[in-house]
Amino acid sequence: MKFFKIIAVFSSLLVASFSHAKDVRGFYVGAGVGTIGVDDQDGFFDVFEDLPFDVAGEGNTYKLIAGYQVNHILALEAQYTKYGDVKIASKPVTVQSWEPEALSFTANAGYTFNNGLRPFGILGLSMLELNESSNVDFLKLDEDKYLGLRYGLGIEYMPPAFNALSVRLAYEADFFYAEKKETRHGAYSDYTITELYDFTLDSVYLSVSYRF
């Protein structure tokens, strides 16, 4: 009798797994928390060789997620990201800080397997606001809002027995260019030059979503 009960449970899970694989379409919402990282590829903060600046992310990144799963492969996703603080310091004094946030619209492409696993990649655009505060003018960027490139990789798991819920572990980043204008003194007149710098804000995060 116990053997037949085990077979019945196994069969129900197997049927749920195949049903889960067929029924992937629908809206979903979620929330997540993760780390923060910042990469200054062009050395914007290394303006003086004898006065280097340390750049570090502090605190957690929080995410709100909303999307629509089109089929086994494609989902369309919007995300609000509140990054942790970015501190720029010439030890021991913090001379500048960012409190960045981003609104992104992306395509989420992957494949949902029958066991509920879905590896995926993300690509799209983001609108960033740095919320910058600075004690030194030469470190302050010209703008506070930027258009960025959102990209990332991750894996999602939707338990077949609970196919309304999913758990995601992912890496995502926002890459953007920023201009910095400088006025220099020439022999006959002042002139302005524009330097272009690129930055990346990124996060490794864990999220939970609910599918309608």
The secondary structure of 137-205 as a DSSP string is GGG--S-SEEEEEEEEEEEEE--GGGTTEEEEEEEEEEEEEEEEEEEEE-SSSEEEEEEEEEEEEEEEE
120 vs 143, higher pLDDT: 120
160-173 burial: b if 16+ Cβ within 10 Å, else e:
beebeebbbebbbb
Check pLDDT > 90 for residue 78: yes
The amino acid sitting at 125 is L
Query: pLDDT averaged over the chain?
Result: 81
Check pLDDT > 60 for residue 62: yes
Check pLDDT > 60 for residue 47: no
Q: What is the pLDDT of residue 15?
A: 40
- Containing structural domain, residue 177: 2-211
* Most confident by average pLDDT, 50-59, 175-184, 202-211: 202-211
The mean pLDDT value for 132-142 works out to 74
Q: What is the pLDDT of residue 168?
A: 97
Check pLDDT > 50 for residue 190: yes
Q: Strand, coil or helix: what is 66?
A: strand
Place 114 in a pLDDT band, splitting at 50, 70 and 90.
confident
86 vs 153, higher pLDDT: 153
Place 50 in a pLDDT band, splitting at 50, 70 and 90.
low
Place 40 in a pLDDT band, splitting at 50, 70 and 90.
confident
Beta strands in 61-116 (DSSP E): 61-69, 74-82, 85-90, 93-98, 101-110
Check pLDDT > 90 for residue 157: yes
pTM over 0.85: no
The label of the residue with tokens 């920023």 reads 178
The mean pLDDT value for 38-42 works out to 76
| Domain CATH for 22 | 2.40.160.20
The mean pLDDT value for 61-70 works out to 96
Count of structural domains, the chain: 1
Sign of CA dihedral 158, 159, 162, 167: negative
